[in-house]
Structure 1
Amino acid sequence: MVPLPPIRLSNALISTTFPSPTALFVGATSGIGESTLKCFVKNAEKPTVYFVGRSEEAGGRIVRELEGLNAGGRYELIKADVGLLGVVDGVCEKIKSKEKKLDLIVLSPGYVTFAGRQETKEGLDALLSLRYYARLRFIQQLLPLHPTRILSILAATNEGSLIEDDLSLIKNYGLANCVNHSATMTSLAFEHLAKEYPETSFVHAFPGIVKTTIYSKGFSWWVALIMTWIVAPLLTPFAVSVEECGERMCFYATSARYPPRKSATSSSEARAAGVARPEGVDVARGKVDGAYLLNWNGEVGEGKCMRGYRERGMGRVVWEHTVGVFEGVEGKTR
C-alpha cells in the first residue's frame, strides 16, 4: 500500500514537474472525479483544464471553486452528455481545435443502476457506453495530442470473465456482465495500447469503497432509500473519504511510480514519467510495461481471468472489437 504522506508529498510537487499542464477531466462535476480534479488544480502551476459534465450549474460552481484554489489557471466546462460517441467526438474536436498537446486525461463518467439494458440511439447500452466505449473513444480521438498519462477510474483488479461472442452484451446484458465486461475490456485494451503508444502511461484504477452520493443516484426512490440508509452505513467502516480518494487518484495520474513503457532519455521524457518518487516508493511493475491495473491502495493487481486472456492475445481482440464498434456507429450517423 502506498501511504498518504508520500502521496501528499508527491502531489505537492506537481507544479515543479508539470509547468503549465493541459488536462482533460471527464465526469468531474461530482464525487471522485471532482475531488481528483480539485487536487490536481490545487497543486498545479498555471494549468489549463477542460472538464466535461452534463450540468451547467454544477460546472459553474466548480469553475468558481477552481479559481479559488488556483487563480493562475484557466478552466473551461464543456457541457455534454458523453453517453453518445457522437457527442464524445464533438468534445474531442473542440479540444483539438484549441490544443496541440494534452498532458493528462482522467476519465470517470458513470452511474449505478439495476435497470436492464437501455439502448442508446447508437445501438449501445447506456451504462456500458459510459463505462467503456465512450472512455475509449476519448482516448482514441485524443491520442494524437500525445497525452503523457491516461487514467480511467473504474474497476481494475476486479476483472471478470467475458462473453467473447457478445462483447457488447446485446444478447446477454445484466449488471454483473456489464461490470465485468467494462472492467476486463478496459484492462485488456490498456495493455494493448501501452504497446502501441510507448510514450503514454495507461492507468486503470479501482477507487475502492468511497463515501460519495452515488448510492442515492440512479435508483428508484425506495432502492435509493435502502442504499442510503442501510447499505451505505454498513460499508462506511471500510470506505475512504472522497477527499482521500481524490488525492490517491491525482497521485496515480502524475507520479513517476507509473511511468510509460519507453524509458526516459531526455528532460521532456522525464517529465512524461511523472513526479519523482518519494523515498521508499518503488516503481510499480505491471504485467505489461506502461499499463497499470491498480487496486484502491495504488498496488498493481488483476482478476484471475487476466493471465489467460493475456496469453491468448485478447488485448488485440478487444481493441479490434472496440474499433469495429466505433466504425459501426460512425456508419449509422453519417
Structure 2
Amino acid sequence: MASSVTRALVVGGTSGIGYGIACRVAAEAKSATVIISGRTKPENIPHDNIEFRKLDASLMRSIKAYTDAYKSAQEPKLDLLVLTQGILTLAGRTETAEGIDRKMALHYYGRQLLIRELLPVLKDDANVLIVLDGVGGSPTKLNWDDLDLKSTYGTSSAANHCLSMTDGMIQQYAATQEGKKRHFMHAYPGLVNSNLDRELPWYLRMPARGIARLMAVSTDTCAENMLKGTYDCASSAEKDGRFWSNFDDKGHLLANKTVWEEDERQKVADHTWKIVDNALQHGQ
C-alpha cells in the first residue's frame, strides 16, 4: 500500500486527481517524500512531506530539462511515478511551439518522455501509473498512417490515439525492462469532480460543474481507488508473470484487455520517440 512508499513523483499533482493522489500518499506514508509537479504551486499543501517543483509538461524540452536536473542531483530513487497531467478542451488541433498538439503533448507524448527519462531513477520494483482511460484503448482505434493526427485530427480521434497508444506503450515497457519488476499501469478514473472544465467554452462550464456535483466522485475517493488498483494489480500481475495492467475506476483489473503484437508495440514506440526527439531538437 501507499504506506510502503518512500519517494513518489506525481506529475499533474498540483490539482485534481493528481493532487488527490499525492495528498493520500503523503498522509498514508508520513515518512515518504512526495514531489508534485505542474505549472502552478497549489495554494494549499496540507502535508509537510509534499514538495512542489515547477514543470510545464506540455513542452518536451521543459520535461527533458526537468528530468536531467532530477538525475544530476542524484536523489533517492522513486517507488512510485504517477502521471495525471491533462486538459479538457473541445478545441481543434492546437500546436505547441514544438509542433505537437497540446492535448496530445499533455496526455501522451510528455508522459512517455517522463517515463523514458526517469527509468534510470526508478527502483527495480517501482510502480508507474498513468491516469487517462485504461478501458477504451485498442490497436484497432489507431490511424496507423497518421499516428500524431497531423492530417486527420479530431477531438475524438485525439482521445482514442492517446489512450490506445498508452496501452501499447505500457506493454512495450513491460516487455523490454530487462529482468526488472517494475509495473506499468493505465487507469480509467471515471467521472471525477476535478475542476477540469476551465478550458471549456463559457456556456458549457456551468452545466459541466452541475453534472460533476451530481454524478462525480471526489478527488479523494478517486485517489483511493487509483492507489488501490495500483497495488492490487501490481501484486496479482507479478504472480502471473505480467508487468502491465489496465484497471477501472474502482481499481479493478481489466482482464480482457487486448495483448498487442510486438510489431504493433514497436511501431507505436518508434513513432513516439520520433515525435518526441524531433521536438527536443526543435529550435536548436
Q: Is 1:41–2:10 an aligned residue pair?
A: no
Q: TM-score, normalised by structure 1?
A: 0.77
**Which residue in 1 is equivalent to 2:85?**
109
1:169–1:295 CA distance, 2 compared to 1 (3 A): same
**Which residue in 2 is equivalent to 1:61?**
44
Give the conservation status (yes or no) of the 8 Å contact 1:258–1:290.
no
Give the conservation status (yes or no) of the 8 Å contact 1:154–1:204.
yes
Q: Is 1:194–2:174 an aligned residue pair?
A: yes
1:286 Cα deviation (Å)? 10
Give the conservation status (yes or no) of the 8 Å contact 2:17–2:222.
yes
Query: Deviations 1:5-38 (Å, cap 9, x if unpaired)?
Result: xxxxx45xx2xx34xx111110011111111111
Give the conservation status (yes or no) of the 8 Å contact 1:157–1:303.
no
Q: Which amino acid aligns with 2:135?
A: T
C-alpha distance in 1, partners of 2:136/2:146? 20
1:286–1:311 CA distance, 2 compared to 1 (3 A): farther
1:208 equivalent among 171, 182, 190: 190
Alignment of structure 1 residues 289-304 onto 2, 5 Å: 289-301=242-254
1:76 equivalent among 51, 54, 58: 51
Identity across the alignment (%): 29
Provide the secondary structure at the position in 2 that maps to 1:211. coil
2:95 equivalent among 119, 143, 163: 119
1:222–1:150 CA distance, 2 compared to 1 (3 A): same
Give the conservation status (yes or no) of the 8 Å contact 2:237–2:244.
no
C-alpha distance in 2, partners of 1:209/1:196? 33
**Which residue in 1 is equivalent to 2:208?**
227
Provide the secondary structure at the position in 2 that maps to 1:157. coil
Provide the secondary structure at the position in 2 that maps to 1:103. strand
- Structure 1: gaps (5+ residues): 1-9, 68-72, 260-272, 274-282
Query: Deviations 1:90-126 (Å, cap 9, x if unpaired)?
Result: 1112221231412111000001000100001111000
Q: Is 1:175–2:160 an aligned residue pair?
A: no
Provide the secondary structure at the position in 2 that maps to 1:25. strand
1:284 Cα deviation (Å)? 4.7
Q: Which amino acid aligns with 2:201?
A: S
Query: Deviations 1:282-327 (Å, cap 9, x if unpaired)?
Result: x2589981000111122222787x35xx136311111111111122
Q: TM-score, normalised by structure 2?
A: 0.90
**Which residue in 2 is equivalent to 1:316?**
266
When structure 1 is superposed on structure 2, of 90-99 and 160-169 the one drifting more is: 90-99
Q: Which amino acid aligns with 2:245?
A: Y
1:211 Cα deviation (Å)? 2.3
Give the conservation status (yes or no) of the 8 Å contact 2:227–2:251.
no
**Which residue in 1 is equivalent to 2:280?**
330
Q: Which amino acid aligns with 1:86?
A: R
Q: Is 1:94–2:69 an aligned residue pair?
A: yes
Give the conservation status (yes or no) of the 8 Å contact 1:285–1:300.
no
Query: Deviations 1:159-193 (Å, cap 9, x if unpaired)?
Result: 15001011111111111011100100001000011
C-alpha distance in 2, partners of 1:224/1:303? 35
Provide the secondary structure at the position in 2 that maps to 1:210. coil
Give the ranges of 4+ consecutive aligned residues of structure 1 lying more than 3 Å apart after TM superposition.
284-288
Q: Alignment length, in residue pairs?
A: 277
Q: Is 1:130–2:80 an aligned residue pair?
A: no
**Which residue in 1 is equivalent to 2:10?**
25
**Which residue in 1 is equivalent to 2:233?**
258
Provide the secondary structure at the position in 2 that maps to 1:149. strand
Give the conservation status (yes or no) of the 8 Å contact 2:233–2:253.
no
- Structure 2: gaps (5+ residues): none
Query: Deviations 1:29-61 (Å, cap 9, x if unpaired)?
Result: 1111111111100011421222111113x1x52
Alignment of structure 1 residues 264-275 onto 2, 5 Å: none
Give the conservation status (yes or no) of the 8 Å contact 2:229–2:253.
no
Q: Which amino acid aligns with 1:240?
A: V
CA-atom RMSD, angstroms? 2.2
